[in-house]
Amino acid sequence: MKKFFLSLLILTPALLNANNYIELNNTNDFDSLINTSDYKGVVVDFYATWCGPCKLLAPFIQKLAQQNPSILFVKVESALRSLHNRFGIRSIPTVAFFKNGKEVKRIIGLNKNSIKVAMNSL
């Protein structure tokens, strides 16, 4: 029981924007998030705070989250280097689409139209 509440405490600061929009603060919960069965898919935005195109993409991703409550949106900042390395992220922004824990699509760069089209893969 304590472990469950501890997990909630770790995730709570990240859940401030919306129920389906998470700004990940640590790498511990990433695998459980992309493997969740609570959503029909997961969109992961790999970004950096200093990246101009990432800043332009952020409001678009937030709007998509509001318009698609059945999809989980997770933002992963470049400071979480182990996740960027694990998924071979070499350019940002990179938006990866996961279904049943597996990556099904990846969009590199500021390409809003391609991101909208890729949402259909979930």
Radius of gyration of the chain (CA): 14
Residue 96 is a catalytic residue: no
Instruction: Check residue 94 and report its DSSP letter.
Output: E
Phi and psi at residue 80, to the nearest 5°: -85, 65
Q: Which of 44, 54, 71, 115 is catalytic?
A: 54
Pull the structure tokens for residue 46: 């790999």
Residue 52 is a catalytic residue: no
Which residue from 116, 118, 90, 91 is spatially nearest to 106, judged by alpha carbons? 118
Q: Which of 11, 14, 48, 51 is catalytic?
A: 51
Pull the structure tokens for residue 106: 């990846």
Known catalytic residues are 51, 54
